[in-house]
């Protein structure tokens, strides 16, 4: 019996003992193609020598120093690198240990910004129904994933939630993309007005929705409209790039493709590419200056903020991405993956939508392509897909029933940036087999 509280308390997963490139190996010698980078984490695959060397070098020098006493070269260099690469005046970086911590930090930084601006009545966040922002209580309150929120609902702060930008399901057949987008923005504006703009801290959204929805890119102009509304009502725009950031969509920040500058951006997953637990909040100059000229302190902190080994790993990851021109590779291989997915699943009777950006792709599964009727949540099709994929030596990231159980199942793919065309072909062909077997198994 395992003493670990695993995700499932009834089943111990296979024991991973090795990793090499895009493959993970278990203790029984089974090899799995990591087509989801875990959960969109392992952008450089496994066992990358440059990252490992950088971590060794940092551990040899210094494994840890608490930030109330010291800063470190590794943390300073990583922050400088992030600030240099970030768009606009996103110049200030707070380093944490993962995506949820990054979200908590962003919420608190946004709140403190208004407290120090003489607007302490601002206490509300607006987010979208189809979203996931993490599992700690603040981040969970923000997200729209009903399943994950349910047991904790009485503990969560009030959040106003608006419609997601989810063209496949929500745009009417006779509605233009422009009209659909305008409708979403009108709903957001109504929500701001109903809450009283003077009470709202910020609007939070994933530029490309990840796990809760499946690689959903925004419609053209959506985020431009969001930015305009945030400016009009003096509220902050927080872009959650924990999953879609750090090159996953072909640009370092997914929001760059919308030509919009957020006030705060959160990072995680791909920042350290799984070599160390690390996340970050990147903040615009005005926000940090307000605190600097006010109390002079950000009322926050964790024991492991700015961890030097995590910072050294993340810095090495960022250097490899630049040195090996991996942003370009993501765009090119993303186009190849799209072509392959469309070829394999374009006519599949139970694949309703194939969507994504860069190397973040998803298949949305439906019982009926015409009506878009999802499979019943009780079938747990996504779990069958995961199990069958593992049996085929493939890791994908399926999800189901993410909005009140209504929106059905999807399969997320987020292969490492180093995947070759041959790897992508193998991923798609194993996925075909896994999906068809899973569909037979649920009947
Ligand atoms: N935000 C988004 C968009 C995510 O996808 C996730 C994790 O899946 C998080 C936040 C939370 O990150 P973590 O699991 O590292 O706490």
Assess contact for 218 and 163: CB atoms under 8 A: no
| ipTM of the complex, rounded to two decimals | 0.99
* Burial letters 328-359, b for 16+ CB under 10 A, else e: ebbbebbebbbebbeebbeebebbbbbbbbbb
* Cα 181 from Cα 167, distance rounded (Å): 9
Pick the CATH number of 16-47+325-442 from 3.40.50.720, 1.10.760.10, 3.40.50.620, 3.90.1150.10: 3.90.1150.10
The per-residue DSSP string of 317-358 comes to: HHHHHHHTTHHHHHHHHHHHHHHHHHHHHTT-TTEEEEEEET
pLDDT mean over 190-212? 97
- Angle (CA) 332 274 395, round 5°: 65
Read off φ and ψ for residue 141, nearest 5 degrees.
-60, -35
pLDDT at 401: 64
**Which of 132, 140, 212, 249 maximizes ligand 1 atoms within 8 Å of its Cβ, making it the mutation to test the pocket?**
132
Query: Closest Cα to residue 267, out of 110, 55, 95?
Result: 95
pLDDT digits (tens, 9 = 90+) for 7-49: 888 889 999 999 999 999 999 999 999 999 999 999 999 999 9
Q: How far apart are CA 182 and CA 145, in angstroms?
A: 24
Pairing of the two strands 236-240 and 200-205: parallel
Nearest in space to 78 (alpha carbons), one of 61, 60, 55, 103 = 55
Residue 127 has pLDDT above 90, yes or no: yes
Q: What is the pLDDT of residues 329-360, one digit of tens each?
A: 999 999 999 999 999 999 999 999 999 999 99
Do residues 242 and 279 touch, judged by C-beta distance below 8 A? yes
Ligand 1 mutation target, pool 134, 214, 278, most atoms within 8 A of CB: 134
Q: Are 388 and 437 in contact (CB under 8 A)?
A: yes
Burial grade of 301 (CB within 10 A; 0-12, 13-18, 19 or more): middle
pLDDT in tens, 280-322: 999 999 999 999 999 999 999 999 999 999 999 999 999 999 9
With 0.80 as the threshold, say if the pTM is over it.
yes
Atom 9 (ligand 1): residue with closest C-alpha?
134
Second CATH level (architecture) for the domain 49-324: 3-Layer(aba) Sandwich (3.40)
In whole angstroms, what is the distance from residue 375 CA to residue 429 CA? 23
Question: What is the distance between the alpha carbons of residues 135 and 144, in angstroms, rounded to a whole number?
Answer: 11
CB-defined site of ligand 1, < 6 Å: 39, 98-100, 103, 132-134, 206, 210-211, 240, 242-243, 268
Q: Can you give the residue ranges of every domain in the chain? A: 16-47+325-442, 49-324
Residue 231 Cα distances to 188, 189, 198, 290, angstroms: 13, 12, 13, 17
């Amino acid at each position: 019996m395992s003493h670990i509280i695993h995700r499932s308390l009834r089943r111990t997963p296979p024991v991973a003992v090795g990793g090499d490139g895009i493959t993970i190996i278990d203790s029984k010698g089974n090899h799995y193609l990591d087509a989801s980078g875990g959960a969109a984490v392992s952008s450089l695959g496994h066992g990358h020598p440059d990252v490992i060397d950088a971590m060794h070098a940092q551990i040899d020098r210094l494994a840890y120093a608490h930030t109330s006493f010291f800063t470190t070269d590794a943390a300073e260099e990583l922050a400088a690198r992030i600030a240099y690469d970030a768009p606009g005046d996103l110049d200030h970086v707070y380093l944490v240990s993962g995506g949820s911590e990054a979200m908590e930090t962003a919420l608190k930084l946004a709140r403190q910004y208004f407290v120090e601006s003489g607007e302490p009545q601002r206490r509300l966040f607006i987010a979208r129904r189809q979203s996931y922002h993490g599992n700690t209580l603040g981040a969970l309150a923000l997200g729209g994933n009903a399943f994950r929120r349910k047991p904790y609902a009485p503990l969560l702060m009030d959040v106003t939630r608006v419609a997601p930008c989810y063209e496949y399901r929500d745009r009417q057949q006779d509605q233009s993309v422009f009209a659909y987008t305008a409708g979403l923005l009108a709903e957001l504006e109504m929500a701001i007005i109903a809450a009283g703009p003077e009470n709202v801290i910020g609007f939070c959204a994933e530029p490309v929705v990840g796990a809760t929805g499946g690689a959903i890119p925004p419609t053209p102009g959506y985020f431009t409209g969001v930015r305009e509304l945030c400016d009009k009502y003096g509220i902050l725009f927080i872009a959650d790039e924990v999953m879609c950031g750090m090159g996953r969509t072909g640009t370092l920040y997914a929001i760059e493709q919308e030509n919009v500058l957020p006030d705060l951006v959160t990072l995680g997953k791909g920042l350290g590419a799984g070599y160390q637990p690390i996340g970050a909040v990147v903040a615009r100059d005005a926000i940090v200056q307000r605190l600097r000229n006010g109390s002079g302190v950000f009322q926050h902190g964790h024991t492991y903020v700015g961890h030097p080994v995590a910072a050294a790993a993340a810095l090495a990851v960022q250097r490899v991405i630049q040195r090996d021109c991996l942003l370009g590779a993501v765009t090119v291989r993303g186009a190849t993956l799209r072509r392959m997915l469309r070829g394999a699943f374009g006519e599949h009777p139970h694949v309703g939508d194939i969507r994504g950006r860069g190397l973040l792709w998803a298949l949305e599964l439906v019982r009926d392509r015409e009506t878009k009727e999802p499979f019943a949540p009780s079938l747990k099709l996504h779990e069958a897909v995961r199990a069958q994929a593992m049996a085929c030596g493939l890791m994908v990231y399926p999800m189901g029933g993410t909005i009140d159980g209504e929106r059905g199942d999807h399969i997320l793919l987020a292969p490492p940036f180093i995947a070759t065309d041959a790897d992508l072909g193998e991923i798609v062909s194993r996925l075909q087999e896994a999906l068809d077997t899973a569909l037979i198994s649920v009947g």
